[in-house]
Amino acid sequence: MPTSRNRVPAVLFLACALLLGCAGPARAESPRAIWRESPDASPAPELQRFNNLLADLAERLKPGLVHVRVRRATASQSDADGEGPATPRRSTGSGFIVDASGLVVTNAHVVEGADSIQVKLADGRRFAGRVVGSDERVDLALVRIDGAQDLSVLPLGDSNRLRVGEFVLALGHPFGLEQTVSFGIVSRKGAPLSVAAPGFDFIQTDAAVNPGNSGGPLVNMAGQVVGVNSMAARNGSIGFAIPSNLVKFLLPQLATKGKVEWGWLGVSIAEVTDEDAARLKLPEARGVLVRGVMSGEPAEQGGVRPDDVIIAIDGTSLQTPRDLQRLVSSTPVGRRVRVSLVRDGQPAEVEVTIGPYKGSGRRTAPHPVPSRPDAPK
């Protein structure tokens, strides 16, 4: 008969075996998910189609977008004393390929004062760029890159057909981030907030235009460039773009002359008010009031006087001062035009030879303008 000393190990062995058998093989418990998934969810068919079309359009446009990197030499105080070398300052902007020969459109302020320009393509290739032409009034520049093959060109559309409320995409490289797309609508087609621009309507959009977007394309849903992003409101809520039809007008001069020859009359002008109409014996308040005539300029030489009201040029009626600015600016320098006006309540006509605009020395004080945060200081 077994003793109690022999029974103890047996009981312990049996207990361990029972415990192991009950526990089974060890396995870790997976943590409980703290989110919810819906793998079968999908947008409405109409929205899904729009999403796909928008994504496909952005993908198709990106190869024509470029990143413009600029280096400028900036002198410090010690540099001014001749005690140290100039410190290079770098900035970036955007642009797009407008011609397969290597022509890139961007903003004038992006490349202003550049010591060197590098243009980076969407596929990562880098090329040295040189300014072919630039115009500060509209803030447009044309840059050439040499030796590039297989370039993707973005087509220019008709900005006159663009309607307020249409969807647009703004492409660019804001904050140094590459190949970004923002989506919005055309908010307004109207005057830029600066009198330096010669009377042309700019495109206002709520598609985000941030620092670095300058020079990038504003594109309609057909994949056509309808504007060149140029300025943004100081709070970043709205942006402004140069209309593509104005770009078409300027590019030939930038490519062949390196600048734009704007027409010039040499008058200070204002809108005709009801008080002006009564004082000047006008049947109605329309036309452009000549406040002053600059000595020696085309208007004075042609016989235009203060308090004349210009109502037409070469038969084209004028309603506002911007109409006159736009018409005169786009008239070739040296062309003789017929100026129809009202003087002392009587119709009259004089002939004026359009002169050349000579730059900022003739510019009136500008109104507050949208910011160009990526412009050189």
Pair 304, 352: CB distance under 8 Å: yes
Q: What is the pLDDT of residue 84?
A: 54
Residue 276, pLDDT > 60, answer yes
Give start-end residues of each CATH 2.40.10.10 domain in the chain: 60-145, 159-257
Which residue is associated with the tokens 């504007």? 227
Dihedral pair phi/psi, residue 261, rounded to 5°: -95, 100
Integer-rounded Cα Rg, in Å, for the chain is 33
Residue 369, pLDDT > 50, answer no
Q: What is the pLDDT of residue 7?
A: 55
Q: What is the pLDDT of residue 366?
A: 31
Q: What is the mean pLDDT of the chain?
A: 83
Question: What's the CA gap between 41 and 51, in Å, rounded?
Answer: 15
Give start-end residues of each CATH 2.30.42.10 domain in the chain: 263-361
Pair 143, 130: CB distance under 8 Å: yes
What is the per-residue pLDDT across 27-68, written as a single tens digit (0 to 9) for each? Answer: 566 777 788 888 888 889 888 999 999 999 999 999 999 999
Which residue is associated with the tokens 């492409």? 171
Mean pLDDT, residues 204-228 taken together: 91
Question: What's the CA gap between 322 and 109, in Å, rounded?
Answer: 24
Residue 139, pLDDT > 50, answer yes
Active-site residue 214, yes or no? yes
Q: What is the pLDDT of residue 284?
A: 86
Which residue is associated with the tokens 């998910």? 33
Write the DSSP symbol of residue 292: E
Q: Is 215 exposed, middle or buried (0-12, 13-18, 19+ CB in 10 A)?
A: buried
User: Choosing from 94, 134, 139, 201, which is the catalytic residue?
Assistant: 139
Mean pLDDT, residues 157-178 taken together: 89
Active-site residue 109, yes or no? yes
Q: Helix (H, G, I), strand (E, B), or coil: what is residue 233? A: coil
What is the per-residue pLDDT across 140-151, written as a single tens digit (0 to 9) for each? Answer: 999 999 989 999
> Per the CATH hierarchy, to which homologous superfamily does domain 60-145 belong?
Trypsin-like serine proteases (2.40.10.10)
CATH domain 159-257 topology: Thrombin, subunit H (2.40.10)
Pairing of strands 355-356, 346-353: unpaired
Residue 100, pLDDT > 70, answer yes
What is the per-residue pLDDT across 334-364, written as a single tens digit (0 to 9) for each? Answer: 999 999 999 988 999 999 999 999 875 433 3
CATH 3.40.50.300 fits 263-361, yes or no: no
Confidence of residue 236 (pLDDT cuts 50, 70, 90): low
Write the DSSP symbol of residue 198: -
Phi-psi region of 349 (alpha: psi -120 to 50; beta: other; left: phi over 0): beta
Mean pLDDT, residues 266-284 taken together: 90
Dihedral pair phi/psi, residue 58, rounded to 5°: -60, -40
Which residues fall within 8 angstroms of residue 253, CB to CB, at 6 or more apart? 133, 259, 260, 261
User: Choosing from 109, 159, 173, 329, which is the catalytic residue?
Assistant: 109
